[in-house]
Amino acid sequence: MITLAGIIGSGKSTMTEILSKELGSQAFFEPVEDNPVLPLFYKGNEIAAKKRAAGDQNATNPYTYLLQTFFVNRRFRMIKEAKKEANNVLDRSIYEDALFMKMNTDMGNATAVEYATYQELLQNMLDELQYATGVNSQDLMIFIKVSYDTMLKRIRKRGRDYEQIESDPTLPEYYQNLLQYYDRWLKWYDKSPIMIIDGDQYDFVANMDDRNKILDDIEDQLVQLNHLSAEEAEKLKAQRRK
């Protein structure tokens, strides 16, 4: 299984679609459009921040635990499906779900009890995946690294109201914190081989030369990991350049 990773607006879903079509495999997308909790979570962050600013230092976001449980439950199901065939592509890692829960707990949006319960649930899921597959939950991690400015530009472009910093004054701090947590996460992640794409330098959406460069690099990595033959990789590269 190939897993995309990266901050909000980095282009994970777009690359998931591009890569799955390139490889002729299936894409598995994060539940966003059909997620009834996500808008509530953003509103809950804003409400909790206002309460803390007014002196209630114990104020939490009542939707944090619900949202992260929603995500990790869906992710667990998608991983089990994705592992059934070779080179299927998942647009976020289950390990990133843990990152979001940790950050939100540190920010005061979730309680220590909620975090401990979430961690226990996640570990049970990871143990089950290990038992069922005999391997880690992904064979290759592709991380799209972007700056704060690039992230905001792409968030504006896709136009989800609840993600816009203009509509929520707490979001700039939230996004910048998230970038820092991702930087730390990259340093300790060791569950699979990882490939890092510079999302500021390469525009794999609009620039076909950039897209071909990224796909070439990914296919070379899959050859090294024995998930593609050298002949299959060369055939894919030739077809793209016709």
Span 192-216, average pLDDT: 94
Residue 141 has pLDDT above 60, yes or no: yes
3-state secondary structure of 225: coil
pLDDT tier at 43, thresholds 50, 70, 90 = confident
Integer angstrom CA distances of residue 186 from 64, 110, 142: 23, 23, 11
Distance CA 236, CA 226 (A): 16
Cβ pair 48, 108 in contact under 8 A? yes
**Chain CA centroid to CA 67, Å:** 15
- Annotated active-site residue in 34, 56, 91, 216: 91
Q: Average pLDDT of the chain? A: 89
226-232's contacts with Cβ under 8 Å and 24+ in sequence apart are 227/86, 227/87, 227/139, 227/140, 228/23, 228/87
pLDDT number for residue 138: 52
Q: Is 229 annotated as a binding residue?
A: no
Span 219-223, average pLDDT: 95
Distance CA 147, CA 48 (A): 27
Integer angstrom CA distances of residue 210 from 49, 200, 201, 207: 40, 11, 9, 5
Residue 42 has pLDDT above 90, yes or no: no
pLDDT tier at 195, thresholds 50, 70, 90 = very high
Q: Is 155 annotated as a binding residue?
A: yes
Q: Is 163 annotated as a binding residue?
A: yes
pLDDT tier at 131, thresholds 50, 70, 90 = low
91 is catalytic: yes
pLDDT tier at 57, thresholds 50, 70, 90 = confident
And the tokens for 131?
């038992």
Question: Lowest-pLDDT range, 25-34, 61-70, 96-105, 140-149?
Answer: 25-34
pLDDT number for residue 137: 45
Q: Is 197 annotated as a binding residue?
A: no
What residue spans define the domains of the chain?
Answer: 2-240
Q: Which of 40, 85, 31, 46 is nearest to 63 (CA)?
A: 40
Question: Lowest-pLDDT range, 12-21, 107-116, 135-144, 183-192?
Answer: 135-144
Question: Lowest-pLDDT range, 34-43, 108-117, 200-209?
Answer: 34-43
CATH of domain 2-240: 3.40.50.300
pLDDT tier at 38, thresholds 50, 70, 90 = confident
Q: Is 97 annotated as a binding residue?
A: yes
Q: Show the CA angle centred on residue 182, arms to residues 165 and 41, nearest 5°.
A: 45
pTM (2 d.p.): 0.87
Span 6-14, average pLDDT: 91
pLDDT number for residue 133: 56
